[in-house]
C-alpha cells in the first residue's frame, strides 16, 4: 500500500486567514484517506491547497488556460482560424463573472505539470462559509477528489476538460465536467456523512454579502445543475457497475456520457459496459464478470 498523501496548505491570502488555513489543513487531512477509500482512487503523493486572494485566483486560473492553449497548439497543430477562436475563448475565461469574483475552489494544472487546488478565503467569507465546518468538509472532500481523478486518468483529465480544441481531442459533446463534478459531489457527501453524521433536516442559512448574492444569482443555478445532475448520474452508475469497473472510465474518457445521456444513465451503462469490461487487465470471459443491474 502506498504511503498516505501529504497535504500541504500554502497560505498566500494574508495573515488574517492563518486560522482558516490551519482548519483547512486539519479537515483535509481527515478527508483525504476517506476520499481514497470511497472512490478507490489514489491521491498524488503530495497535494497542494493554495489559499489565494481573489486577484491572484484570477491571474492563476488565467495562466492555466493560457499555458494550456500554448501546449495544445504545439501538440495538435490546429489551423489559424481555430487558434483565433481558442484565443477568444481564453479571453472570455479572463472576463467572465466567475473569474472576476473568483471561486471557492478550483483545481488547475501548474507550470510544472502537477495539480494545485486554489481556494479564496475572501470569497468563503462573503459566502458566509469560512466558519462552517460542514461546508468545509464537503468542499474539501470534493476538491481532493479532482487530483485523484486526474491521476487516475494518467494526467489527461484537466487537459480534456479545459482544452480549447475539444473536437481535436475527441471530447466535443461529452459531459466531462458534469461527470467529474458529480463524482466529486458523490464522494464529498459520503465523506462528510462519515465524519460528521447526516446533515440536519433544516440546514443553517449562511450570512452572505450583497456582492456574493449578486454573483450567485448569475452563476449558481448553472453550477448546481452540473453538480447535482452529475451526482445523480454517478450514484446510479456506480450502483450498477461497482466502483472498480466505473474507475476504468478514467482511462477511457472517450466513453464519457454525452449531455443527453446524463438524463438516461441506463442507456449509457448498456452502451459502455462491454467496452469497459473488455479493458479488464485480467481478461476473464465476460460471462464470469458481474452483470450490471439495468433497473
Per residue in 199-257, pLDDT (tens digit) is: 887 777 777 777 777 766 666 656 666 677 899 999 999 999 999 999 999 999 999 99
Q: What is the pTM of this model?
A: 0.89
Q: State the DSSP string of 154-172.
A: TS-HHHHHH-S-HHHHT-T
Q: How do strand 6-11 and strand 46-51 relate by DSSP bridges?
A: parallel
Mean pLDDT across 179-201: 94
Distances (CA, A) of 206 to 5, 125, 216: 32, 10, 13
More confident residue, 99 or 152: 152
**CA atoms of 142 and 248, how far apart (whole Å):** 20
**pLDDT reading at 137 higher than 70:** yes
- pLDDT tens, residue by residue, 103-120: 568 999 999 989 999 999
- Contact predicate 191/134, CB 8 Å: no
Rounded mean pLDDT of the chain? Answer: 87
Name the residue among 280, 279, 259, 255 with its Cα closest to residue 269: 255
**Span 27-84, pLDDT tens digits:** 999 999 999 999 999 999 999 999 999 899 989 999 999 999 999 999 999 999 999 9
What pLDDT is recorded for position 91? 85
- Distance, first Cα to last Cα, the chain: 36
Q: Residue 93's CB: how many other CB atoms inside 10 A?
A: 18
Residue 97's contacts (CB-CB under 8 Å, 6 or more residues apart) are 215, 218, 219
User: Can you tell me whether residue 182 is helix, strand or coil?
Assistant: helix
Handedness of CA 135, 141, 142, 143 (dihedral sign): positive
Residue 49 and residue 117 in contact, taking contact as beta carbons nearer than 8 Å: yes
pLDDT of 35: 98
Task: Please write the tens of the pLDDT for every residue from 241-290.
Answer: 999 999 999 999 999 999 999 999 999 999 999 999 886 554 433 333 34
The helix/strand/coil state of 105 is strand
Q: Among the listed ranges 160-164, 193-197, 199-203, 255-259, which one has the minimum average pLDDT value?
A: 199-203
Amino acid at each position: 500500500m502506498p504511503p498516505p498523501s501529504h497535504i500541504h496548505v500554502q497560505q498566500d491570502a494574508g495573515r488574517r486567514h492563518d486560522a482558516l488555513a490551519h482548519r483547512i489543513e486539519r479537515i483535509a487531512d481527515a478527508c483525504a484517506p476517506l476520499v481514497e477509500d470511497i472512490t478507490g482512487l489514489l491521491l498524488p503523493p503530495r497535494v497542494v491547497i493554495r489559499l489565494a486572494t481573489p486577484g491572484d485566483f484570477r491571474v492563476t486560473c488565467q495562466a492555466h488556460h493560457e499555458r494550456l492553449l500554448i501546449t495544445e497548439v504545439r501538440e495538435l497543430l490546429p489551423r489559424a482560424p481555430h487558434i483565433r477562436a481558442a484565443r477568444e475563448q481564453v479571453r472570455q475565461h479572463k472576463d467572465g463573472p466567475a473569474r472576476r469574483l473568483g471561486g471557492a475552489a478550483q483545481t488547475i494544472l501548474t507550470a510544472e505539470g502537477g495539480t494545485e487546488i486554489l481556494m479564496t478565503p475572501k470569497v468563503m467569507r462573503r459566502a458566509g462559509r469560512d466558519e462552517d465546518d460542514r461546508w468545509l468538509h464537503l468542499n474539501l472532500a470534493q476538491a481532493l477528489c479532482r487530483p485523484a481523478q486526474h491521476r487516475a486518468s494518467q494526467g489527461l483529465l484537466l487537459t480534456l476538460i479545459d482544452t480549447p480544441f475539444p473536437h481535436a481531442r475527441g471530447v466535443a459533446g461529452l459531459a466531462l465536467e458534469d461527470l467529474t463534478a458529480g463524482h466529486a459531489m458523490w464522494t464529498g457527501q459520503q465523506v462528510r456523512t462519515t465524519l460528521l453524521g447526516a446533515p440536519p433536516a433544516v440546514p443553517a442559512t449562511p450570512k452572505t454579502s450583497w456582492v456574493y448574492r449578486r454573483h450567485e444569482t448569475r452563476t449558481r443555478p448553472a453550477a448546481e445543475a452540473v453538480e447535482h445532475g452529475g451526482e445523480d448520474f454517478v450514484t446510479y452508475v456506480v450502483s450498477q457497475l461497482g466502483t472498480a469497473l466505473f474507475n476504468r472510465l478514467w482511462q477511457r474518457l472517450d466513453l464519457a456520457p454525452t449531455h443527453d445521456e446524463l438524463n438516461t444513465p441506463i442507456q449509457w451503462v448498456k452502451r459502455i459496459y462491454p467496452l469497459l469490461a473488455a479493458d479488464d487487465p485480467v481478461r476473464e470471459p465476460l460471462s464470469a464478470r458481474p452483470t450490471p443491474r439495468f433497473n
